[in-house]
Amino acid sequence: MATRQNQDEQVKAFWDKTEEELGEEVIIYTMGRCISGCAQQRDSKAQMWGLFFLTERALYFRHFPQQNWLSSFMSSGAGISAGEEIYFSVPMARMQSVSVDQHRTFWQRLFSGEPPTFSIDYFEADGSVQTLRFFLEGKTDAFLKVIQSCRE
């Protein structure tokens, strides 16, 4: 019981610190995998797990350094250092389009190994258009609704 309470306190402290650094409230967060378009992603086939979270002004992705031997082994060919932290954002104002590729039928959802995939086209500071593709472990519908409401 004390361990669970300690974990809850650490999670709250993490989000409090994040909100303080950003200067705004984190509306929603969840784990997910960045498929393509992640900052500093050297290998186009590399996929990174991390936290996706939204504020009123931006979408954020944060990949934490992986310390255990299994994680290091699994990512050794991915072009990303196991000790490298990736942290970037896409401002809502720069998003050109947001879509989610969802399986339409029950059977497609049942037999497909892929979760719904977000695709966000956005403008870089230099005016070029980039695409960020990712999927979330949960909260897909809620995440999409928050993005849509923040872009209105």
pLDDT for res 7: 85
Mean pLDDT, residues 3-18? 88
56 part of a folded domain: yes
Residue 64 lies in a domain: yes
Higher pLDDT, 147 or 64: 147
Give me the pLDDT at residue 108, please.
65
Question: Do the beta carbons of residue 36 and residue 45 sit within 8 Å?
Answer: no
For residues 79 and 136, the model is more confident at: 136
Euclidean distance between CA atoms 132 and 122, whole angstroms: 8
Q: Which residues constitute the domain of residue 108?
A: 24-151
pLDDT at 100 over 50: yes
Q: What is the mean pLDDT of residues 99-107?
A: 75
CATH code of 109's domain: 2.30.29.30
Looking at the structure of the chain, the number of domains it has is 1
Any domain includes 143:
yes
Q: What is the mean pLDDT of the chain?
A: 82
Structural tokens at position 60:
């954020």
Give backbone dihedrals phi and psi of 98, rounded to 5 degrees, phi first.
Answer: -135, 125
Summarised one tens digit per residue, pLDDT across range 57-90 is: 999 999 887 655 555 555 544 444 556 788 889 9
The answer to whether residue 70 is domain-embedded is yes
Above pLDDT 70, what percent of the chain?
74
Inside any domain, residue 18: no
Greatest pairwise CA separation for the chain in angstroms:
52
Residue 15 lies in a domain: no
Quick one: pLDDT at residue 76?
46
pLDDT one-digit tens code per residue, 27-47: 999 999 998 887 655 554 567
CA distance 117 to 140: 9
Task: Specify if 3 maps to a domain.
Answer: no
In a domain, 16, yes or no: no
Q: How many angstroms separate the Cα of 72 from the Cα of each of 31, 77, 78, 130? A: 19, 9, 10, 29
pLDDT in the model for residue 8: 85
